[in-house]
Amino acid sequence: MVRPLGFLVGLGFIAALVLAILTTPLTNEPNASHEFHKHPKHLKLASDGLVPHWDKAQLQRGMQVYKEVCSACHSLNLVAFRNIQDLGYTEGQVKSFAKSYDNIPSINPDTGEPATRTGLPSDHFPAPYANEVAARAANNNALPPDLSLITKAREGGKDYIYSLLTGFQNPPANLPKELRPGTGLHYNPYFANLNLAMAPPLADGQVTYADGTKATVDQMASDVTAFLVWTAEPKLVKRVQVGWGAFIFLLIFSTLTYLSYRNIWADKEH
Amino acid sequence: MSFPWANQYQPQHPLMKWLDEKLPMPRLVYNAIGGGYPVPRNLNYFWNFGVLAGAALAIQIITGIVLAMHYAANAGVAFDSVEHIMRDVNAGWFIRYAHMNGASMFFIVVYLHIFRGLYYGSYKAPREMVWLLGVVIFLLMMATAFMGYVLPWGQMSFWGAQVITGFFSAIPVVGEPVRVWLLGGFAPDNAALNRFFSLHYLLPFVIAGVIILHIWALHIPGSSNPTGIEVKDEQDTVPFHPYYTAKDGFGLGIFLLVFVALTFFVPNMLGHADNYIPANPLSTPAHIVPEWYFWPFYAILRAFTFNFLWIDAKLWGVIAMFAAIALLFFLPWLDSSPVKSSNYRPLYRKFFWLLVLDVFILGWCGMSPAEQPYVIMSQLASIYYFAHFLIILPIVSRIERPEPMPNSITEAVLAKHADAASAATA
C-alpha cells in the first residue's frame, strides 16, 4: 500500500516540477549594476588571522577619526567610554575623555526637566541625533546606521567598510543613465546599488594625528576600520587566545583517548 | 531486553547494593550504556555520531540555560541583551558563540547519523521504531533551531520568522487566521518572540525525552552494524563499556576539536551578516536565507514555481518541503530489500551516493539567490530527491541482486583480517 501510494505522490511532485521547469525562463532579468559593482579590497589588520593582536596605536587613531568625522552622523550605541581602556588608555584618561562630552542626556535633579550633563566612564558614546526622525531629517531622508557592529553586520566585513570609505569616485563614462547618482547621492562601486547617500567623508589631512602619522584617506580609512573591528567584537583577541588553549588541550585529550581506545581493543579483531 | 550472554550488574559496595534494591538507577545505566549492553564488534566510526548528537544536545542545553539567565525576550531589548552577553557578561561571548555554533555541530552530526542510517539500512526491521523516533527528533530539532534563530531579533531572525510562519498562510481558507494565531499578531513581534523563547526553552527537553525512547527502542533489537547481519552469538559482540566508551571518547575529542575551531576561530562563518542588524519590519534584506542546515529544504520550497492542478505554486512548495521530511517516516516500507547494508547492494549504493550529491546541490541552491541557474538546478535536484525515495528505491529493492554476504559478523571480521594479513605478507 505504501509503495503504490508513494509512487503516485512522487509522480505528482515530479509533474509539478517538470511543469515548473518548462514555464520558468532560463535567463535572468538583466541587471546592469552587476557589471559596475566591485568586490571589496582586502584590508590587512593586526587583529586578523590565528595570532591576532590589537594595534593599540592604530585603534587610538581610528577612534580619533570616528570622533572627529564619523560621529557627526553615526552613533556608536553599544560602546561605553570605560571600554576604551582596551585601546591602551589609563583610567584617568578614560575619565577625562568621558568628561569632554557635555551632552549626555539626563534630568535636572531639582526640576525633573530634561537636561544634559558631562560624561562618566559608564556612559555610552552619545548619539548624534535624538531619534530616527531627526537623523533622517538631517540626512536627506537617509538613516546613518549605528557603527558598533558594522564590520560584522555587512557581507565582506572590514574589507567592505574600508573599500566603501576609499571607493568614492566619479561615475565611469559608460555608466547607463538610470544608474547615475541622483541628487544627494554619490557614486561608489563597492555599494550594492552603486549610489550612496553618504558623501565622501574623508579627505587628505582631515584629522591631525598626535603620533605624527600622515593622515591620508587610505590611512584614516584603515584606522577607523580597525577601530570598528574592535567595537564590533572587543573580545576578538581574547577569543582566539582562549581558543588555542582549548584546541591544544583537546589535541592532547584526543591523543590520549585514541591510545586508550587502541589499548582496549588490542586483543579484539574488529 | 538484551542478549542472554550480556554481563549482569553486580554491585560490590554496600552502598551500591542498597541503592540497587531501592532505586536501581546504576543498573539502568549499566544495562543502557555500560558493560551490560552487548554491541556488535565491527562498528566503524560512523557509529560514533549517535553519542556525539547526545553530547551536542547536552552542550546546547547547558549553554542555553546560562544564556537564558542574561537574555531578555522582549522585542525592544532582545538584540541589545545579546550584545550585552557578548560584551559585559563574564565569558558571555564564549557561551553565546558556543551555543550558536553548537546548533551547527548538532546538525552536522545528526545529518551524518541520518546518512549512516540510510547507507547501512539501519531503518529496516527490526529497527523501524528507532528510525521513526529519530525522524521525530529531527523535526523537533528543526523547530527548536528555527525558534532559537529568531531570539537575537536581528534582521534574519525577523524575516526568517516572517517567511517560515508565512508557510501557514499558504493553507487555503484557514491559513491566514492560523498564521495570525500562531504569531499572536499580523507580523512577528513581541508576542511571537516571547512564545518562541518559551518553546525554544521547552523543546530541547522534549527532544531529550524522545532520545530516551530512541535509545530504549534501540536496545530491544540491539545496535545494527556495517554488515547488516544480525548478531548470532556471543563472539559477535563486545560489551559497550569499555570497548565503545573508549571509541566514543576518541570520537568526542575529534568532535570537540572541530567545535572549538568553529567557536573560537571562525564563530560567524556559518551565520549571516544581516543578523547583526537589529530587526526592522520596514526594511527587507536583499536575500533572505535560512541557516545552512535548512538550505536543502529551502531549495525544495522555492523549486515549485508553477500553479499545477488546483494548488498554487506556494502551497506546492510548502507541501513538498514538509513531504521531503515526512517521507522519511515511510522509508522502512518503501525499501523492501531484505539486505540492510549497502556494502552488499551494488545498485542501491550508486543511488545512495547520487542522493548525497543531490542534497549538496539542493543545499547550494538554497543558499543562492532565486535566479538562474540556481532555479533550474533546484528543480532538477528536487525531482531526483522525490524520485529517489518514492520511485527508484522501491524499484531497486525489487530488481537488485545483492552481492554474496558473510554468514556472521565474526566471519566478516576474520575475513577482513585474513585479507589484511595476506596483503601484508604478499
Going by pLDDT thresholds of 50, 70 and 90, the confidence category of residue A138 is very high
pLDDT > 70 fraction of chain B, expressed in percent and rounded: 99
Report whether pLDDT(A157) > 90: yes
CB-CB: which of A19, A148, A269 is closest to B417?
A269
pLDDT digits (tens, 9 = 90+) for B242-254: 999 999 999 999 9
Query: Cβ of B253 and A253 within 8 Å?
Result: yes
pLDDT > 70 fraction of chain A, expressed in percent and rounded: 100
Mean pLDDT of B342-371: 95
Query: Cβ of B276 and A145 within 8 Å?
Result: no
Partner A, chain B 106-145, Cβ-Cβ below 8 Å: none
Report whether pLDDT(B339) > 80: yes
Give me the residue spans of the domains in chain A: 31-79+124-253
pLDDT at B97: 97
Side chain identity at residue A216, one-letter code: T
Query: Cβ of A239 and B267 within 8 Å?
Result: yes
Rounded-to-integer distance, Cα B70 and Cα B97, Å: 14
- Judge whether A221 and A212 are in contact, CB under 8 Å: no
Report whether pLDDT(B387) > 70: yes
pLDDT at A59: 97
SS3 content of chain A, % helix, strand, coil (to 5): 45, 5, 50
pLDDT at B308: 81
CA torsion angle for A53, A56, A57, A61 (degrees, to 10)? 110
Query: Cβ of B261 and A17 within 8 Å?
Result: no
Instruction: Measure in Å the smallest separation between the Cα of B21 and chain A Cα atoms.
Output: 32
Going by pLDDT thresholds of 50, 70 and 90, the confidence category of residue B352 is very high
pLDDT at B419: 80
pLDDT at B178: 92
Report whether pLDDT(B142) > 90: yes
C-alpha cell at A187: 557614486
- Chain A, nearest residue to B310 by Cα: A16
CB-CB: which of B336, B386, B413 is closest to A269?
B413
**Among the ranges given (A186-190, A220-224, B308-312), the one the predictor scored with the smallest mean pLDDT:** B308-312
- Of B219, B312, B368, B408, the active-site residue reads B219
pLDDT at A77: 95
Going by pLDDT thresholds of 50, 70 and 90, the confidence category of residue A43 is very high
CB-CB: which of B41, B260, B371 is closest to A268?
B41
Q: What is the CATH class of B34-419?
A: mainly alpha
pLDDT digits (tens, 9 = 90+) for B31-60: 999 999 999 999 999 999 999 999 999 999
Mean pLDDT of A110-115: 93
pLDDT digits (tens, 9 = 90+) for B279-304: 999 999 988 999 999 999 999 999 99
Mean pLDDT rounded to a whole number for chain B: 94
- Judge whether A239 and B94 are in contact, CB under 8 Å: yes
Give me the residue spans of the domains in chain B: 34-419
Residues from chain A that touch B267, judged by Cβ atoms under 8 A, are 239
- Chain B, nearest residue to A3 by Cα: B334
Going by pLDDT thresholds of 50, 70 and 90, the confidence category of residue B129 is very high
Query: Cβ of B313 and A20 within 8 Å?
Result: yes
Mean pLDDT of B189-218: 97
Question: What's the pTM?
Answer: 0.94
Partner A, chain B 311-370, Cβ-Cβ below 8 Å: 313, 316, 320, 323, 327, 330, 333-334, 336
Report whether pLDDT(A230) > 90: yes
Query: Which of the two residues, A209 and A28, has the higher pLDDT score?
Result: A209
User: Which residues in B84-119 are b (16+ Cβ under 10 Å) and which e?
Assistant: bbbbebeebbbbbbbbbbbbbbbbbbbbbbbbbbbb
Q: What's the CATH number for A31-79+124-253? A: 1.10.760.10
pLDDT at B388: 96
pLDDT digits (tens, 9 = 90+) for A166-213: 999 999 988 888 888 888 899 999 998 899 999 999 999 999 999 999
pLDDT at B1: 53
pLDDT at B227: 94
Rounded-to-integer distance, Cα B279 and Cα B274, Å: 9
- Chain B, nearest residue to A48 by Cα: B265
Partner B, chain A 155-184, Cβ-Cβ below 8 Å: 155, 157
Report whether pLDDT(B199) > 80: yes
Mutate: best of A13, A85, A141, partner B, most B CBs <10 A: A13
Mean pLDDT of A233-248: 97
pLDDT at B11: 94
Report whether pLDDT(B186) > 80: yes
Mean pLDDT of A91-96: 96
Mean pLDDT of B395-415: 91
- Judge whether B155 and B279 are in contact, CB under 8 Å: yes
C-alpha cell at B30: 549499566
| A73 appears as a binding residue in the annotation | yes
CB-CB: which of B93, B246, B304 is closest to A16?
B304
* B111 Cβ neighbours under 8 A, 6+ residues apart: B293
- Judge whether B127 and B201 are in contact, CB under 8 Å: no
Please return the burial class of A100, using the count of CB atoms within 10 Å of its CB with bins 0-12, 13-18 and 19+.
Answer: exposed
Q: Angle of helix B14-22 relative to helix B25-33, nearest 10 degrees? A: 90
Mean pLDDT rounded to a whole number for chain A: 93
pLDDT at B426: 58
- Look at residues A198, A168, A193, A167 and name the one whose alpha carbon lies nearest to residue A180: A193
Partner B, chain A 76-115, Cβ-Cβ below 8 Å: 78, 83
Going by pLDDT thresholds of 50, 70 and 90, the confidence category of residue B16 is very high
